[in-house]
Structure 1
Amino acid sequence: MVLISSPEFPQQAEQRAMSESSIAQKWQRAVDEAFSVRYNVPLRSIPDRLDFTAQAYYRGIAGVLDEWIAPLFSVRNSLAHGQWVVAFNETREAVNNDRTKKLKDLSLWRLRLLKNMLGHLERLIFDLVVTRYAFERDFDAHWSGLDAARRRIENGNSADWEQLLRRRYHRGRWHHETNITRKRT
């Protein structure tokens, strides 16, 4: 919302993005609008009339929105509606097995990586909308970070991270107890 409300984003484009029905569609519309403005291509011709490199940028961002961000919004909506164990379809008349599986796969580790991935995507879209040169200049760096988070999620081993948290906790308790003992003597 901050990006599409910025002065660099055309007001009509903001209105079109806000008229979309879901948050995932709003993000996709904002990306379409930003590419249209940045590369001076009519909105209806996005991505087909973009040059090869711009199409690659577009398809990469659109792929992340489709494969990762839209499902994340869907799971977030289930949680927000109290569907913590079993997710229902949009009309709440039947169980949505796919979304229920995604709810069961959630962990703090996964959420942190998704937040990291979303941060990289946000910086990409910020550069696309607001900056003159940074989008093309910094795309590879942002994409590398986004892709690293995506690979960590796909490899899906949170056991090492959980073990690291346990070691930190025990080390912190040891330091705390050691410092209390020193203060008493």
Structure 2
Amino acid sequence: MIAEARLRKITHDPQGFNERERKLIAGSKSQIDRWKSAVDFAFRRQYSIPMHLELQDSSVDSVVISRYGIIVEMLDGDLKPIIEGRNKIAHGQWVWELNNLETQFKGRAADPMNYLAISRRGEIIDNLAEIVHVLIVSEPAFQREFDRLYGKISSTRCVIDGNDYPQFEAKIRNSGQQGIRSTMKGKKR
């Protein structure tokens, strides 16, 4: 849901797309296709690439084309699984996963995520949305911010599954114990 809301916010930024572009983006079949359309339109706008040319066939710098590819890979590799996972839960696939038509079981659904796994998916959405938003509104800002935001996404990918949750939980418990001990010391006086 966060990804869908962020995309709507991005596409309706007054400094970004015009009404025609917004309608074209909204008309895309799936949410991930809407994200890809937004990225495609933004690159075309910022780098003056006509619609009849493929981005790779344009005279745009290879670094720019590479960044386009990286963003599309992040949409497919990072955002799409988050969106699909959320959709499966929203359609009641808690124990058994269904095919896209919801006519047959594919197998057991994934185990529920812990707080860190959910939170880190949100971080990826936020950073990816920021990359796309900056691209839409300002090419110089995109050039300046891309590496920083891509680095944040890359480092979050390494811990996205939340396997370090037991350490996180212990840290919270210890910090709570510290607070209780300080309160107790204050009461003894």
Structure 1 and Structure 2 fold alike (TM over 0.5): yes
**Aligned residue type for 2:42:** A
Of stretches 44-53 and 113-122 in structure 1, the one that deviates more from structure 2 is: 44-53
1:94 aligns to what? 104
Checking the alignment, whether the CA contact within 8 Å between 1:35 and 1:46 is kept in structure 2 is no
Query: CA separation of 1:96/1:26 partners in 2, compared to 1, >3 Å: closer, same or farther?
Result: farther
Shift of the alpha carbon at 1:54?
A: 1.1
Provide the rounded CA distance (Å) in 2 between the counterparts of 1:141 and 1:174. 35
Provide the rounded CA distance (Å) in 1 between the counterparts of 2:124 and 2:106. 25
Identity of aligned residues (%): 22
Shift of the alpha carbon at 1:121?
A: 0.8
Provide the rounded CA distance (Å) in 2 between the counterparts of 1:136 and 1:128. 8
1:41 aligns to what? 49
1:168 counterpart = 2:172: yes
1:58 counterpart = 2:62: no
Given the alignment, which residue of 73, 86, 107 partners 2:114? Answer: 107
1:2 aligns to what? 9
Shift of the alpha carbon at 1:122?
A: 1.1
Provide the rounded CA distance (Å) in 2 between the counterparts of 1:44 and 1:67. 27
**Aligned residue type for 2:69:** R
1:142 counterpart = 2:184: no
Query: Is the helix fraction higher in 1 or 2?
Result: 1
Query: SS of 1:87's equivalent?
Result: strand
Root mean square deviation, CA, Å:
2.2
Higher relative contact order (CA 8 A, sep 6+): 2
**Aligned residue type for 1:183:** K
Provide the rounded CA distance (Å) in 1 between the counterparts of 2:27 and 2:64. 26
1:116 counterpart = 2:123: yes
1:158 counterpart = 2:163: yes
Query: SS of 2:22's equivalent?
Result: helix
- What are structure 2's unaligned runs of at least 5 residues? 1-7
TM-score, normalised via structure 2 length: 0.83
Checking the alignment, whether the CA contact within 8 Å between 1:87 and 1:96 is kept in structure 2 is yes
- What are structure 1's unaligned runs of at least 5 residues? none
Checking the alignment, whether the CA contact within 8 Å between 1:127 and 1:134 is kept in structure 2 is yes
1:81 counterpart = 2:81: no
Provide the rounded CA distance (Å) in 2 between the counterparts of 1:96 and 1:126. 36
Provide the rounded CA distance (Å) in 1 between the counterparts of 2:96 and 2:114. 16
Shift of the alpha carbon at 1:112?
A: 1.9
1:18 aligns to what? 26
